[in-house]
Amino acid sequence: MKIHFIGTSSAKTSLKRFHSSIVIKEKDFTLLLDAGEAITKALLHQYVYFNSINAILISHLHPDHSSGLPALITQMHLDKREEPLFIYSSINNIEKLKDLLYQSYLFQSRLSFQINFVAFEEGISFSVDEKISLMGKRNTHLDKYILNDVNKQLSFESTSFLITFANHKIHYTADIGGIDDLYLFKSELPTLLITEISHISFEDVLIVAQNPFPHKILLTHYSDEDKQNLDDFLQKLPEELDDKIVLAEDGLLLNLSS
């Protein structure tokens, strides 16, 4: 399986990097994790063909994770896609994603391919491919907005995921609310942690890194301004953690054995 970092930037737009998104590829199956603004250009920049994507997973509805979805669907249609596309999100977000496409005039009857929306429930494992399964758990990233929703119209589902492939267990956070969210899958003993670093501190990451699991931590979702500070922190890591914590860059490719 290959993990390809399409974008590693935070919500703040960068001239050098794209918003946080990842492609997971196993043989003939390709899963896109999140689709923020400019995802179509980000994929082209990393030489990922739109119609090679079999499924899209949306962690939450912040624009830097979801607003590029209509543009990506449009490009797939313009490229005359025929294969069905699966879109996965939490049971509380899936109808809002359907409405996003509808409000973008992307009607199923006019598309060249079928879109299959799949809602998952928290804590229940589901398969996206014969070799890849996921489990989602709600994190606290959006809790700070709840009091602002005076009309009670919004979903506050922000999901972290455990991605299981062969003997690998990957904890992918997307956006989180604090250090406690880094332990959502503690009992599953994830071997790899891919975590955002905009809403937690490097000191939080160091605390998690003291544990035997995960074996490796990749940091993503950081601004250009934060990069220098993160590089400085990494330079000062104790020797035993030197290879355990890595700052991901756009285009980083990891190969996981089966």
Which pLDDT tens digit goes with each residue over 231-244? 999 999 988 898 99
- Do 113 and 77 form a contact (C-beta atoms < 8 A)? yes
What is the pLDDT, as a whole number, of residue 257? Answer: 86
Q: What are the structure tokens assigned to 124, written together?
A: 């229940």
Mean pLDDT over 141-162 rounds to 96
pLDDT of residue 203: 95
Q: Is the pLDDT of residue 52 over 80?
A: yes
What per-residue confidence (pLDDT) applies to 28? 92
Rounded mean pLDDT, 57-74:
98
Q: What torsion do the CA atoms of 248, 253, 254, 256 make, to the nearest 10 degrees?
A: 150
The string of pLDDT tens digits covering residues 83-102 is: 999 999 999 999 999 999 99
User: What is the pLDDT at residue 258?
Assistant: 76
pLDDT at position 179, please? Answer: 97
Residue % of the chain over a pLDDT of 70: 100
Rounded to an integer, the average pLDDT of 4-31 is 97
DSSP assignment string, 33-95: E---TTHHHHHHHTT--GGG--EEE----SHHHHTTHHHHHHHHHHTT--S-EEEEEETTTHH
Contact (CB, 8 A) for 35 and 65: yes
Strands 192-196 and 216-220: parallel
Report the percentage of the chain scoring pLDDT > 90: 97
**Mean pLDDT of the region 26-36:** 96
| Chain mean pLDDT for the chain | 97
Give yes or no for a contact between 77 and 107, defined as CB atoms under 8 angstroms apart.
no
Q: Give the number of domains in the chain.
A: 1
Q: Which domain holds residue 177?
A: 2-255
CATH of the domain at 155: 3.60.15.10
Q: Predicted confidence band at 55 (pLDDT cuts at 50, 70, 90)?
A: very high
d(CA 220, CA 226): 11
Give Cα 156 distance to the centre of its chain. Answer: 17
Note the pLDDT tens digit of each residue in 183-199.
999 999 999 999 999 99
Residue 68, pLDDT score: 98
